[in-house]
Every structure is written in structure tokens, then in C-alpha cells.
A and B are shown apart, each in its own frame.
Chain A
Amino acid sequence: DVKVTQSSRYLVKRTGEKVFLECVQDMDHENMFWYRQDPGLGLRLIYFSYDVKMKEKGDIPEGYSVSREKKERFSLILESASTNQTSMYLCASSQQLTDNQPQHFGDGTRLSIL
């Protein structure tokens, strides 16, 4: 079974801090994704990566950056956290960037910015 592991289930940070959310997958998947989940808004794509050191902006990239130095690891970075970034963050991976490959999700990180 594919395992997508997010380093923290809950995280509390202060406004202005630099925040790192880490995600690791163990199935040699090409693609990795970061989503933000808010009540009533569903999942919104922040960034995705289809290869090491490659990244593409999703629907809501403002205020975020990402890093993929190794195939198995995809990091989401909040350069200067703000209260409106309080949310649930979900990481996902998939085998190929084709339509018929479902995504595998981590359990999420619930981030609170005070």
C-alpha cells in the first residue's frame, strides 16, 4: 500500500514565522501535490510537482512556496505566516501525470496561525 506521511498532525505557529510542512511518500511516485482544505470550499490546489526540482503553481499559490529536492519528499513553505493561512493542509502523490491515476493522500496537517 502507498504511504503518504505528513510530519505533523497539528501545528501552531505565530504570525510572521516561517513554517515548513513536510510530506514523504514511499512508492516512488512521480507527482506530489499540496492542497488546502477549508469548510465549504473543498480542496484547493496550492502547488504540485511532477519531478525532482520541478514545480507548478496551482489555484492558490500566493503566500506559499515549495521544495522538492528528493523524489520522495515535498515540502510546503509559508514564508511569513498569516492568520488567513490557518487551515487543513493535505499532501498527495500519484504515479504518473495522466488522468487515470488516482491520488494517495496523507492524513493532513491542521495548522493554526496565531
Chain B
Amino acid sequence: AQSVTQPDIHITVSEGASLELRCNYSYGATPYLFWYVQSPGQGLQLLLKYFSGDTLVQGIKGFEAEFKRSQSSFNLRKPSVHWSDAAEYFCAVGGGSYIPTFGRGTSLIVHP
């Protein structure tokens, strides 16, 4: 069975600072990995996805994520955070069940 852990419930950063959100997965084979963002009052929007190939994946809104098989991780990064990035972020893994499993989410708070 596949599973996802997002160790941080809340992350607080200052505007302009760099950001890294952690995601660890458990899956026996090569996983399919996703990051979604949920702005207040809205549904989830896909930021980026990893299927195979280059382990550094570029997404929308200036985000990137790096797949590290040895660490079973898929951390999300952004070099300079904007106030509009304040949102809930979800990591998800797809695998043998074909239905993605979501982490519990990390809430990003941005201080001016």
C-alpha cells in the first residue's frame, strides 16, 4: 500500500524568503508524485508532477520539486515566497491502486 507523510502541519516564512515543504512517500516501485495547492475557499490546483526522467521538476507559480529515491522524498521548493503563496499544500503519490493517496497537508503562512 502507498502512503504519504507531510511532517510539517504549519510552516511560517517571511515574504521574499526561500521555502521548502517536505514530503515523504512509501511505495515499493517507482511512484507517481504530485504537489497540489489549495487557496482559501477553493479546490486543489496541480502545481507539478513527477512520473519519470529528470528528478528536478518545474511547476507553475515558480515552484519546483526534487525526487530523491534514496530518501523517498519529493520536497517542494520556491526561492522567494510571495504573500499570495499563503495556502494549503498537498503532496500525493500514485501507485498500484491507481487512486492517488494524499498527505494531510501543510499550511503555509507568509509574514510581510
Query: A-side interface residues toward B, CB under 8 Å?
Result: 4, 9, 33, 40-43, 45, 48, 58, 90, 92, 97-100, 102-108
Contacts and interface: CB of A to CB of B under 8 A. Distances in A.
A16 B98 CA distance: 35
B43 A108 contact: yes
A99 B32 contact: yes
Given A105-B44, A105-B45, A108-B43, A100 B90 contact: no
Nearest to A58: B99
A102 B47 CA distance: 10
Given A98-B98, A108-B43, A40 B9 contact: yes
Contacts of A42: 90, 102-105
Interface of B: 9, 32, 34, 36, 41-46, 49, 51, 90, 94-95, 98-100, 102-105
Contact of B104 (A4, A40, A97): A40
Task: Say whether chain A's binding surface is mostly helix, strand, loop, or mixed.
Answer: loop
Given A90-B43, A90-B44, A107-B43, 4 more contacts: A42-B105, A99-B51, A100-B94, A108-B41
A104 to B, nearest CB: 8
15 contacts: A40-B104, A42-B102, A42-B104, A43-B90, A48-B99, A98-B98, A99-B51, A99-B94, A99-B95, A99-B98, A100-B49, A100-B94, A103-B100, A105-B43, A107-B42
A57 B93 CA distance: 19
Nearest to B32: A99
A33 B40 CA distance: 21
A112 to B, nearest CB: 15
